[in-house]
Structure 1
């Protein structure tokens, strides 16, 4: 195994000594401060590169470095300006630090550390703010990534630095300390973790503030996950944050910002609908992707409710549909569709999506069956705006759920179709499994449509509000919406504001109202302002990707917001220069690596560049004879400067498996076999929701047909017994994949309920013994 990261000429690691993390959770957001201590134990100055992951929606808002007793704090500047300053500083012997977001992947950052003297140590502090994701059990999840998982690199191209750093082995060579402070308008119920924690300590009797620490001795070889549980989860909440009095008048940072958290609860019910699945069958889909798509279509078809309508389209340079128009869902139509799904190939040429969409929209909708469009594609199209305009024009008659497959999928197309079609977008990359993400979207599609969404503000005289978040076009059970708004002016008396949230569900108006105090919350640290700025920046970045005539003004606005709020963006970087430290740098800086067992917190140092002048920039003030090896170029060519080397390839996360090749192979085969058993069971289910008692079903359970038949209770028939066993097996053996089979199970439970079976409890007990499970009758949904 080749060690990765930074090692000395004697193959000894240049260690990251320690990581200290402080997390402050406020309602639905977190501020994370990480301090990393490392040292140069080489005999020559180093320029190190440090690559690390962050949540995709995080906003880096502070970066500083302390060398000895001296601390230098970075400033946010336009990216190219910051790079030039960094190059000039390092070339002249000054210590400099450059922190920037990957141009292709916003969840990956890179830190360049210039001219760290022999024997010198440095403590780098990075602070970021992020929204916390809501989980299925209503908790909020915070994750501190321990690894930057191996990322996909297309065949024929050299692996990038991210893949190299993440493929090491051995023990983690540094320590981790973690402390968490939680505060919220709602009482805190509990806090759980995937790691061992010290006891939770409440700071107030109302349980609105608490602290907890990671227990000592934690080996940082896996992600640290924290789950925060609040009481009254679905009640809306608000946090008002004061602005900075020294900021320019009228600017975002000058005035208060309010964050409204909305997490509405809808009735758990499935609706009838028309489901149209549009599958990219262009040549770029290839064997692996099209096979995964076929498995996904199997799950989708088996999960649809009786009485709905469906159709399947395939497109490439041309398109075809299984049926001239959507057909009613029954056993015959499902059997025919699944037969044609098995025959699907990625053999239809290019990626032209406009015509099949146009054809679908020309078909009349079925009354009382809302149209739900599922679009799968792995490519980009040249007429993105035309496609989005088409979806928007028909937004009144359907919801659009879009899925981008692989790294080449156009974010503008995928997110745009979901946005214009009031649906939901998903990206399936690398070794991500398609089925869980698609079934999550199906859960949304089966919910009643929420329409006529409005947010209205009532504020005292003298106070005006500017909503910073994009309009809410969609609401789904289990999804939370966060609204940021800018409050300006001075109140003439009132100290309370009101936000009224209205929508219609199944033709019934629903109103939620939240009263909140306009007095700012103490000690927020500008987290709300910075996330509000990040929201605006992300919207502008999306407009920039969509193209248009105002790209330069959009870019200038992004830079202005980023610099003003002190948060990261694709067009800015954090730059810190220790101008008091000048030293002569002698000799080339050779490439070094550090073994970190897949850790993201790895270093890479590289020699400097002094090659012939490139046309796009002036020649840097580098020393003669010093070369920079570009590890960020796809072909690893010797590069003249850093300018084109800074971006990281958009490469996907993949799970970390055992590094032993024999064990790893066994794990992979075992997992594939288990997945095949699940798909085999699903494929055997009838459209009504039941299973038949036969040898193929018994084979899934590892039994014979006689074993199943001999244990069948006398009071139930074969189909009821088979369906009950299938449910027990799903809940007892496949609970970790429940998101994939939840609707299959709901149909089965509903079917059993319609059969008026006598003593189900005794049947469940016998089934548990037969299959070696421990599932209760209540768990099965009866």
Structure 2
């Protein structure tokens, strides 16, 4: 048996890829990522190395080169079939060749082929891509460097037999290293940078803190997605960047004219936002494939994905408004619905759904999203109940483009809020679902918790729908504007919208332009405007041009698939735009050929697949406004009754405060100074008390005065019930106690239970009004 030297795969084959070095340049809301892959052939024959790897779904690959010794070969963008033929011809003649191409099925999977690497020779392959940074629930901007490429599930009836082979090893066994350094530049001060991987300290480059560098800590193994979260001051300020034309490009072409990128954050009127809608058909579509049994992350004590999905469904079901409709659909190789059709939200239907959620397992085989979506779209929409689709998946599907095309076809009937769970979720699928169906995408990786992100999406879904959106550009008459982005179809409060446009014509001096976004919200006309200078910014590279080109290319690719190739000229236009801008597309590839001096390489060409990893409180922290709210709530409910004398009211008020002191041992702002101790330790370990309390809430928003509630409060049932004033309803009293506990001990998880509290407060307000009725 031959013993392989150096790094080897699980099949005991040498791995030619030795290391990956990444440099990131962040400019506000966009980033340029430069990766350098070091290869070495330690075998006795010429080698072809195949590397199948993921990139962000919205990324635009814009440069590809190879360096052999001191010779650098820069790749050209060509029509894909032509590039593949040139690559094969080069290999057959013994020449070195390099090919980079996008998957036919999913735009976030790429294949890198390094052909005819001679024995003992090293090669350095570099690729650059530009990408937008997505906005997270906590206003952070997310940059993800995907490492994990989990096996994509191929539907049995897809007929796709030409998929590239993916070689994978267990996470933690990846035989090559990663180094990463980032330079961050922003118009606003940089507050902090966080990551799911250890980082060296953030290094500010100026006193304004608008520029900084940060690096991964040494020794990082590329066995998980690398996520950077960037936090700026005034993140929600709208911005505009005008990028100068490429000097070598012909005026009138995309690269030969300036391009503007606008970052818009619409502000909705406060009176409209104060009333969230109580209507809607909420469909929760949950991945129950076998891969959902995988852990959320690689750390100790990680929860599996299906358990996290169950807990998230508990929160969502408890947070739905009365009067809406809902259903839950689990899918894998097949799909199952909790109810034959959507049912009205009530205590009975909620209890029935929660029981089924408890029994939900990852037991439905592969990941087949297409069929459950077709089933949903075949069901008629309910009158006056806008359809809201929440889709949770680890995203391991192969027919991404087919799924997105189906969603786009039915986009007019619903909005889709998508969630990518765990390492390896397809960014093209998750982001594409939300983009095509006017929703919002979230990714849950590393130590992320799914629940706050689900609550943010629910908040978006409950916002009044924005309709009749129009964008008007206001520029000098000698300048014309050609939009590169598709029309805006969705706006949410606090949600960013990026727009790209080509500017053609002569400009003089520091002239200004503006863009006006108009729309209708709850039958009210709303207008937001952003002014910007037409003077190009300095040192932006061609990032904005390439992102604008990628945006236009993606729109044209969807149009071409909708026409099934029948609309003449669309594919040709994509190829022309891709070659002109140097940006990857479904119909083009990067090809580089190194024509060596002397004789061509001889010997049998060995093929090696480079593996990728496979994974499957203290009450004093409460703001004074919250304390005051709780005090006033207790005061009105307990003491504002006409038949109580002032003396009795004071006595009841003191008794309530004393009960709170004994039961919770924390201090409310009140007219009586009392010293309180820290919360008493629990007498026995419990499963998550927050989830236990949430599970006890009724669909109406109330809690019941029972032993289970007392257990969460670490009291006996008698200790909870005895202090209740006789005039106060039991459910109102229990609900007040539950809210006090939430505000007292779970403020750090407020995003999880905010909608539960809103329902409960509404119930208490109604009870207070009843007390005041004559």
Same fold, TM exceeding 0.5?
yes
Change (3 A) 1:521 1:582: farther
How far apart, CA to CA, are the structure 1 residues paired with 2:419 and 2:61? 27
1:563 Cα deviation from its structure 2 partner: 0.9
1:403 Cα offset (Å): 6.4
Q: Does 1:275 align with 2:280?
A: yes
Call closer, same or farther: CA 1:252–1:217 in 2, change over 3 Å.
same
In structure 2, the CA distance between the partners of 1:129 and 1:411, relative to structure 1 (3 Å rule), is closer
After the TM superposition, which residues 336-375 of structure 1 pair with which residues of structure 2 at under 5 Å, given as runs?
360-361=380-381, 364-365=383-384, 371-374=386-389
CA distance in 2, matches of 1:41, 1:318: 49
Which residue, 227, 230, 242 being the options, matches 2:229? Answer: 227
* CA distance in structure 2 between the partners assigned to 1:447 and 1:233 by the alignment: 21
Partner residue of 1:443? 459
Q: 2:700 aligns with which of 688, 696, 702?
A: 688
- Offset at residue 387 of structure 1 (A): 9.5
CA contact (8 A) 1:278 1:312 kept: yes
TM-score by length of 2: 0.70
| Whole-Å separation in 1 of the counterparts to 2:54 and 2:532 | 36
Q: 2:516: which partner in 1?
A: 500
Identify the range of structure 1 (283-292 vs 679-688) with the bigger mean alpha-carbon deviation: 283-292
Partner of 1:255: 257
Relative distance call for 1:161 and 1:547 in structure 2 (3 A) is closer
Greater Cα offset, 279-288 or 675-684: 279-288
| Structure 1 residue 184, shift from structure 2 partner | 2.8
1:292-329 deviation per Cα after TM superposition (whole angstroms, max 9, x unaligned): 999876554321124x33255989999999799975x5
SS in 1 for 2:540: coil
- Greater Cα offset, 523-532 or 717-726: 717-726
Rate the CA distance shift 1:567–1:728 in 2: closer, same or farther, 3 A.
Answer: same
How far apart in 1 are the matches of 2:141 and 2:432?
Answer: 27
Map of 1:629 onto structure 2: none
1:248-292 per-position Cα deviation (integer Å, ceiling 9, x unaligned): 342111100000011234456451332224588999999999999
CA 481–62 in structure 1, closer or farther in 2 if over 3 Å, else same: same
Preserved CA contact (<8 Å) 1:193 1:227: yes
Cα 1:499/1:592, change in 2 over 3 Å: closer
Residues 410-449 of structure 1: pairs in structure 2 closer than 5 A: 422-423=438-439, 440-449=456-465
Number of residue pairs aligned between Structure 1 and Structure 2: 657
CA contact (8 A) 2:15 2:175 kept: no
1:89-132, Cα deviation, whole Å (9 max, x unpaired): 01111110001112222222121111111111111111100001
Structure 1 residue aligned with 2:185: 183
Q: Distance in 1 between matches of 2:88 and 2:236?
A: 51
Matched, 1:537 2:539: no
Instruction: State the alpha-carbon separation in 2 of the partners of residues 189 and 376 from structure 1.
Output: 32
TM-fit CA distance, 1:447: 1.1
How far does the alpha carbon of each residue in 1:484-517 deviate from its partner, in whole angstroms, 9 at most, with x for none? 0000000256622122233343344433322222
With over 3 angstroms needed to count, the CA separation of the structure-2 counterparts of 1:436 and 1:158, relative to structure 1, is farther
Check if 1:523 corresponds to 2:539: yes
The CA deviation string for residues 573-631 of structure 1, in whole angstroms up to 9 with x for no partner, is 1100011346544443445467x7x64xxxxxxxxxxxxxxxxxxxxxxxxxxxxxxxx
| 1:580 alignment partner, SS class | coil
CA offsets 1:732-753 (integer angstroms, 9 cap, x no match): 8x95xx7665533543466578
Change (3 A) 1:751 1:682: same
Q: Give the C-alpha shift of residue 236 in structure 1.
A: 0.8
Task: Report 1:6-405 matches (<5 A).
Answer: 7=8, 11=12, 13-14=14-15, 16-149=17-150, 151-152=152-153, 164-167=167-170, 169-170=172-173, 173-174=176-177, 176=179, 178-266=180-268, 267=270, 269=274, 271-277=276-282, 299-306=315-322, 308-310=323-325, 312=327, 327=344, 329-331=345-347, 334-335=350-351, 360-361=380-381, 364-365=383-384, 371-374=386-389, 392=412, 399-401=414-416
Distance between the aligned counterparts of 1:9 and 1:404, measured in 2? 32
Structure 2: unaligned runs, 5 residues or longer:
294-304, 365-369, 617-685, 769-774
Q: CA deviation at 1:352?
A: 9.2
Match of 2:91, SS state, is helix
Range with bigger deviation, 719-728 or 535-544: 719-728
For residue 580 of structure 2, what is the aligned residue in structure 1?
564
Deviation sequence 1:626-654 (CA, Å, 0-9, x none): xxxxxxxxxxxxxxxxxxxxxxxxxxx85
Does the CA-based 8 Å contact 2:286-2:309 persist in structure 1? no
The structure-2 alpha-carbon separation of the partners of 1:80 and 1:750, relative to structure 1 and needing over 3 Å to count, comes to: same
Structure 2 CA distance for partners of 1:753 and 1:552, relative to 1, 3 Å: same
- Pair 127,391 (structure 1): closer, same or farther in 2 beyond 3 Å: closer
TM-score computed with the length of structure 1 as normaliser: 0.69
In structure 2, do the counterparts of structure 1 residues 592 and 83 end up closer, same or farther at CA, with 3 Å as the change threshold?
Answer: closer
Shift of 1:545: 2.7
Aligned counterpart, 1:743: 755
Cα offset for 1:549? 6.2
User: Taking structure 1 as reference, are residues 373 and 38 closer, same or farther at Cα in structure 2, changes over 3 Å only?
Assistant: closer
CA contact (8 A) 1:61 1:530 kept: yes
Superposed displacement of residue 38, structure 1: 2.4
3-state SS, counterpart of residue 170 of structure 2? coil
Report if aligned partners of 1:384, 1:412 keep a CA contact under 8 Å in 2: no
CA shift at 1:543, angstroms? 1.6
Name which of structure 1's ranges 746-755 and 453-462 shifts more when overlaid on structure 2. Answer: 746-755
Return the alpha-carbon distance in structure 2 between the equivalents of residues 401 and 290 of structure 1: 20
Output the CA distance in 2 between the equivalents of 1:414 and 1:146. 17
Of 456, 461, 464, the residue aligned with 2:472 is 456
Matched, 1:479 2:484: no
Q: Where does residue 651 of structure 2 map in the other structure? A: none
Distance 1:567 1:727, change over 3 A: same
Distance in 2 (CA, whole Å) between partners of 1:124 and 1:534 is: 23
Instruction: Give per-residue Cα distances to partners, 1:339-359, cap 9 Å, x unaligned.
Output: 89999999xxx9698898687
Provide the rounded CA distance (Å) in 1 between the counterparts of 2:288 and 2:217: 52
- Give the Å deviation of 1:470: 0.9
Cα 1:575–1:739 shift into 2, 3 Å: farther
Determine the C-alpha separation between the residues in 2 that align with 1:115 and 1:42: 12
CA distance in 2, matches of 1:755, 1:438: 30
CA contact (8 A) 2:560 2:567 kept: yes
SS at match of 2:585: coil
- The answer (yes or no) to whether the contact 2:137–2:453 under 8 Å persists in 1 is no
Distance 2:129 2:149 in 1: 17
Q: In 1, distance between residues paired with 2:755 and 2:149? A: 34
Map Cα deviations across residues 672-731 of structure 1 (whole Å, 9 max, x no partner).
xx99998765443202323334455577x6x9x865655789468662476248737993
Q: Given that residues 100 and 573 in structure 1 are in contact (C-alpha distance below 8 angstroms), is that contact kept between their aligned partners in structure 2?
A: yes
Computed over aligned residues only, the root mean square deviation of the Cα atoms, in angstroms, reads 5.3
CA distance in 2, matches of 1:278, 1:80: 42
Partner in structure 2 of residue 727 of structure 1? 742
Change (3 A) 1:371 1:726: farther
CA contact (8 A) 1:92 1:582 kept: no
**Alpha-carbon separation, structure 2, partners of 1:41 and 1:117:** 9
**Is the contact made by 1:94 and 1:583 (CA closer than 8 Å) also made in structure 2?**
no
Give the whole-Å Cα distance in 2 for the aligned partners of 1:215 and 1:102. Answer: 32
For the residue of structure 2 that corresponds to 1:302, the secondary structure is helix
Contact 2:482-2:503 within 8 A present in 1 as well: yes
